[in-house]
Amino acid sequence: MKVYMLDRCWVDRDSVLLDPERTVVQDAMAAFWEDEIAKFVQDYFYGKTTIFGITREVAKLFLMREFIKLKYISGFGSSVAFAGAKVNFIKFMTVTAGGLGWVAVGVVAAVVVLGVVYAIMDWLEADRGRLDFPVGSCILRYENRLWWGGVAAHPSELEWDFYCCKEIGEMWFYERFISGLEYMGLDEWDFLMCWELKEKRLVGWYVYRFSQLRLRFLGLAHNRGWGRYRLKLAEGSQQPYEYPVGWGIKEYDICKYVGNYSEYFA
């Protein structure tokens, strides 16, 4: 098992009102309601290609956006959300789109097409920042499978024990060996915002979308059972941590940072 000392990670943090699941958007656009929206758009346009510069495709995206907002933020049932989406669309077409010039209509259409339908669950502006992980936190890696972990003990001068916490799972990322795959070599993984984690708040949830993760490679640790892995350093190696020989920590304290990301967000 490869062991990497965590340095920091750059993330975007969004706030959402309901429990965010990766399938929310796909579920909202599931076959039945997507067909219902398509039928409504066809009837509304009644042979026209555009109305006030709004095309059928843009109209469909607008309706999907409204449907997601009403169902997953406001909490209405699917049929009520669909009815509300139609009402909001008609209001938009008769009041807003009808009163805009051609240029303004184009801007509105571009905004809808370029992602509003996917970002509508955000009820606060996304914060861009970083996670400064606590000393001793690490990631354990086997091929592309990752686990959160942390340093557990320093049994001898050249030995360090690490404990495996929660599994992250199999992840895909671009790896940049900034200073080589050697002991304490600086490595950077780019997840391209495809790695998401959620954290419960008193009201709503935080969603963290990871971009770059910076780490230092410590070496290959061997399984000692019960979630523990031992790393043996080469003679004369710099110590990765300042803990004295004989130091140890409880497993609960090792892993308590996992899931409490807001404490380390800056």
pLDDT of 252: 94
How far apart are the C-alpha atoms of 173 and 215, rounded to whole Å?
14
Largest separation between any pair of C-alpha atoms in the chain:
79
Mean pLDDT by 10 residues, the chain (266 residues): 94 75 48 78 84 78 78 72 85 68 46 42 63 95 94 98 94 83 91 81 79 94 96 95 96 94 91
HSE of 29, CA atoms in CB hemisphere, 13 A: 12
Domain boundaries, the chain: 2-17+126-264, 24-119
pLDDT of 67: 80
Alpha-carbon distances of 56 from 39, 42, 44, 47, 144, rounded to whole Å: 11, 8, 9, 10, 42
HSE of 105, CA atoms in CB hemisphere, 13 A: 19
pLDDT of 89: 85
pLDDT of 177: 84
pLDDT of 207: 82
